[in-house]
Amino acid sequence: MSLQLRFFATFREAVGNKTISREYDANTVGDVIVALESEFEGLEGQILEDGAIRPQVNVLLNGSDVEHMEGLDTPIEPDDTFSIFPPVAGGCSGGRP
């Protein structure tokens, strides 16, 4: 099935593009993530940890967080859009006391 995949920050660097289209023989979000981690060396072990989405990683399916759906078991449909965000850290650069 054809899917649109969008990557942000370090995940974009690992894939080499912000957006890619892929055909996967997949039925769930988990199937797609396993395929992505296998396809892109820089993603291996970066999205999944111990059979779950790593803490601080956000995976959206058509704009909805899969953790608020069925997690890795969330079913997918042709032409769905995934957005995958790595952990983000940051804060004030010292401009305020």
Which positions ≥6 away from 29 have C-beta within 8 Å?
59, 61, 66, 70, 71, 72, 73, 74, 76, 82
Closest CA to 28 of 49, 7, 59: 59
pLDDT digits (tens, 9 = 90+) for 9-32: 999 999 999 999 999 999 999 999
What pLDDT, on a 0 to 100 scale, did the predictor assign at position 95? 52
pTM (two decimals): 0.87
What pLDDT, on a 0 to 100 scale, did the predictor assign at position 88? 76
What tokens were used for 50?
């111990």
Residue 89 has pLDDT above 70, yes or no: no
